[in-house]
Structure 1
Amino acid sequence: MKSRDKVQVTSDRGMLRLRWTYIDKRQSLNLGLENTRINRTYANGIARQIAEDIRCGEYDVTKNKYRPKLIGNSGLNCSELFDKFTTYKQHDLGISPRSVETRYIPLSRALNKWLDMPAHEVTKDHARHFMSIQSEHVTADTAKARIGLLGSCWKWAIQEELLATDNPWVGLRVALKPQPTQRVKPFNREEIKAILSEFRNNRYYSHYSDFVIFLFGVGCRFGEAAGLLWKHIADDFQTVWIGESVSRGYRKSTKTGKARTIVLSPNVQSMLKARYERLKPNLEDLVFPSPQGLPICDRSFRRRAWKTVLIKCGIEYRKPYAIRHSAVSHALASGADPISVAEQSGHDKRVMLESYAHVIQPQSVFIEF
């Protein structure tokens, strides 16, 4: 056999794969087997079978003849298969470490706890039962997202020939109805003034005063403000470019993947100008670093500074997200154009109108004749 016709046994991300040429076209076959000594010996046997069939004119173009009898049963249980999918998403698609930490690892643990069985044996009934358990332990939105991830995982595994079954997760997400949630209560003007005053005068947390002023004055997301660099602010301090975000120390694009330029109010302009003149920073420096000079951590800020200040002010606790919600609510209630508010705050226009329609002041929009 010519060298170009040789059936090669290769390893792809730790899994065995065969490669060869048939009628001048490159062919490949994922065996669904770990790259171990025993499995490699088995793969060499399949490679010899393919080569012999090509030579004798008995080649199976469907490749079914050469698939291992246990194709789709690589010995992986559900959590192990999902871990392989996670690795693929990290290496090939570049999902952030933050996503792995908050979405993928918790789901792997849930699989290990409630669906500890071989992945190829999972049926529609098993999938429904797991979905039911998730609905009891996490929010409807989280359960829906997890079922979606599992559907993507099984689809990938079938394409990679790690599974040879139908995808049991297809169509399950539609059965998960989001639970009604109470609207976030925005801070009123008096509460906002009290919060800003307490931050300015607090012995331990005055460092965050300008940061909180910016959040209330701009209505951006926490991570967008935490990741803001001086080069993102216009020389005249009238506008700021928002195109990046920081979460748990990792810099990435905004939630929507889109950049925007925000026109700043006179108060925010004055604060930024005074801060710049006081600090004399480099353009690559963070505008609002933590006391240690790092991006502000939302978790630490929420548990220490934010919670303490609200208690001092005697204000009902709400998560820092309420700052953004308050900024948008007051802008709309004051008669600002909803489309402009959506563009400036980085909201999806349709979602924003659905979420904030109740605060928009009704008024006649038609001209008189």
Structure 2
Amino acid sequence: MSKTPGVEIRAGCIRIVFRYQGKQRHERLCLDNEGLAPTPANIKYATRLAAEIKDKIRLGTFKYVDYFPGSSQAKIEATPASVPWLYDVMDHWLRVCDLKASTREQYTTRMNSFWKSHLRNVPIDQVRYSDIMGALAAGSWKSAKSRNNELSMIRGPFELAIRDKHLTVNPCDEIKPKKVQRKSPDPFTLDEANLILALLKTHRPEPIYNFVQFMFFTGLRTAEGIALQWKNVDLRRNEILIEAGMTSDGEEDTTKTAQARTVILSARAHEALLRQKFHTYLQGEYVFHDPKTGNPWSYQTITDARSFWAITLKSLGIRYRRPYNMRHTYATIGLMSGAKPAFLAKQLGHSLRMFFDVYAKWISSVDDQLEMAKVNAAIKRREAPQKLR
């Protein structure tokens, strides 16, 4: 070990030792990327260099890259101060992005647990396409959809950096989402719906029976049904205004499409509201309450494995489907009854294109039978009379 101030002799190399920005630094002297051998001449050179560095630090003119261009500290200092670091941009995006409180909480958890574990914290302009692909390849995905959701989320911070002029290209742009097979609707039959309602009517408090009948025969999303308020119910005109949905954490928000719509009530939905009026109308706010607590329904309460819903289906031997499938039941009953798709799409709050995408199977089935009836009628009209023998 050398006793020369600022110089440290190591096995096969020389290191310069100095204090910079409050930290003790140890930088190896190199020539053509090889450590400088600790010869007497090189030690003398290192001693002069150490003194020179110390003077420049004192004068405020020291630049790391001039002396140690291969050092990680030199690379950090070479990064323009205006370019933020990746983790800072992630955190900033979560703060400024227009998200529901529950969504922001979920995104924060996912960003910290996955992306900050698989991407290095570097200046954001140093993140490459291959870094994102490597992170996605390292993930344990339950489905293509979950992988796509993570990819969709990480695009956000890079888009923010582009708009803040820190980047010109999003490294996620060329990464294609995996193909996801859309799940077909899984409605109840009308017979199943009637069995469920009959059991609820005799074994459960009336408000539960009212809620389920209303949901089966309006096609509302679950979040919309539990957020319905009496101020948006017009029994005289036989219609309701749907302008809100209840989030999973109990916050009232806009509908899924962020558009209000008027829903015309079917006869059985109207009946359910007339009965429910006795229970909650004078309270003046939400139409449907959990009779156990007296509070508006929460999505978790309805879908819990121990809920009235799960127990009722099990008692009847009906295959479990989540309450949301009452919506599909209304749509498919409507189609099979001959109602126009445009009317049903408006009732459900779908665009006509989305409605055709989701319910193509039932639309095709109804149309096929009608068209075949026309063919059979035409054949029958032209059938030649059989001659008697």
Q: Flag whether TM exceeds 0.5 (same fold).
A: yes
1:229 aligns with 2:234: no
Give the 3 Å change call, closer, same or farther, for CA 71–166 of structure 1 in structure 2. farther
Structure 1 counterpart SS, 2:282: coil
Equivalent positions of 1:1-369 (< 5 A) are 69-71=79-81, 74=84, 76-78=85-87, 80-89=88-97, 93=98, 95-118=99-122, 120=124, 121-134=126-139, 136-160=140-164, 163-164=166-167, 166-172=169-175, 175-203=176-204, 207-236=207-236, 238-247=238-247, 248-283=249-284, 285-291=285-291, 292-303=293-304, 304-360=307-363, 361-362=366-367, 363-364=370-371
Per-residue Cα deviation, 1:1-26 (whole angstroms, up to 9, x for no partner): xxxxxxxxxxxxxxxxxxxxxxxxxx
Name which of structure 1's ranges 329-338 and 178-187 shifts more when overlaid on structure 2: 178-187
Distance in 2 between the 1:355 and 1:164 partners? Answer: 39
What 5-or-longer segments of structure 1 have no aligned partner? 1-44, 46-66
Structure 1 counterpart SS, 2:263: strand
Give the drift of 1:124.
0.7
Distance in 2 between the 1:115 and 1:68 partners? Answer: 21
Give the 3 Å change call, closer, same or farther, for CA 352–328 of structure 1 in structure 2. same
Distance in 1 between the 2:92 and 2:202 partners? Answer: 51
Structure 2 counterpart SS, 1:137: coil
Distance in 2 between the 1:212 and 1:109 partners? Answer: 39
Give the 3 Å change call, closer, same or farther, for CA 300–170 of structure 1 in structure 2. same
Give the 3 Å change call, closer, same or farther, for CA 116–151 of structure 1 in structure 2. same
Give the drift of 1:211.
1.1
Q: What CA RMSD, in Å, does the superposition of the two structures yield over aligned residues?
A: 2.8
Distance in 1 between the 2:228 and 2:262 partners? Answer: 13
Distance in 2 between the 1:101 and 1:198 partners? Answer: 39
Distance in 2 between the 1:72 and 1:201 partners? Answer: 69
Per-residue Cα deviation, 1:283-321 (whole angstroms, up to 9, x for no partner): 4x1000223333311122111222222111111111222
Amino acid at match of 1:160: D
Structure 2 counterpart SS, 1:261: strand
Per-residue Cα deviation, 1:28-56 (whole angstroms, up to 9, x for no partner): xxxxxxxxxxxxxxxxx9xxxxxxxxxxx
Q: Is the 8 A contact 1:71 1:164 kept in 2?
A: no
Amino acid at match of 2:91: D
Per-residue Cα deviation, 1:314-365 (whole angstroms, up to 9, x for no partner): 1111122211111111111211100110001111211110121211211359
- Specify the alignment match of 1:20 in structure 2: none
Per-residue Cα deviation, 1:195-214 (whole angstroms, up to 9, x for no partner): 112222335x6542211111
Give the drift of 1:177.
2.9
What 5-or-longer segments of structure 2 have no aligned partner? 1-59, 61-76, 379-389
Give the 3 Å change call, closer, same or farther, for CA 250–313 of structure 1 in structure 2. same
Q: Is the 8 A contact 1:237 1:273 kept in 2?
A: no
Amino acid at match of 1:141: K
Give the drift of 1:138.
4.2
Structure 2 counterpart SS, 1:241: strand
Distance in 1 between the 2:149 and 2:171 partners? Answer: 16
Amino acid at match of 2:128: T
Distance in 1 between the 2:309 and 2:276 partners? Answer: 21
Amino acid at match of 1:261: T
Distance in 1 between the 2:213 and 2:195 partners? Answer: 12
Give the drift of 1:278.
4.8
Per-residue Cα deviation, 1:253-308 (whole angstroms, up to 9, x for no partner): 1111111111111222122122214544244x100022333331112211122222
Distance in 2 between the 1:321 and 1:280 partners? Answer: 25
Structure 2 counterpart SS, 1:108: helix
Structure 1 counterpart SS, 2:217: helix
Q: Is the 8 A contact 2:235 2:270 kept in 1?
A: no
- Specify the alignment match of 1:22 in structure 2: none
Distance in 2 between the 1:300 and 1:119 partners? Answer: 45
Amino acid at match of 1:150: I
Per-residue Cα deviation, 1:171-220 (whole angstroms, up to 9, x for no partner): 31xx22323244232111221112112222335x6542211111101001
Give the drift of 1:225.
0.6
Distance in 1 between the 2:265 and 2:101 partners? Answer: 33
Distance in 2 between the 1:101 and 1:69 partners? Answer: 32
Larger Rg: 2
Structure 2 counterpart SS, 1:281: helix
> How many pairs were matched up?
290
Per-residue Cα deviation, 1:211-252 (whole angstroms, up to 9, x for no partner): 111110100101111100001110416111111111121111
Distance in 2 between the 1:149 and 1:206 partners? Answer: 43
Amino acid at match of 1:293: G
Amino acid at match of 1:244: A
Amino acid at match of 1:85: W
Give the drift of 1:164.
4.7
Q: Is the 8 A contact 2:290 2:297 kept in 1?
A: yes
Distance in 2 between the 1:97 and 1:139 partners? Answer: 25
Amino acid at match of 1:212: V
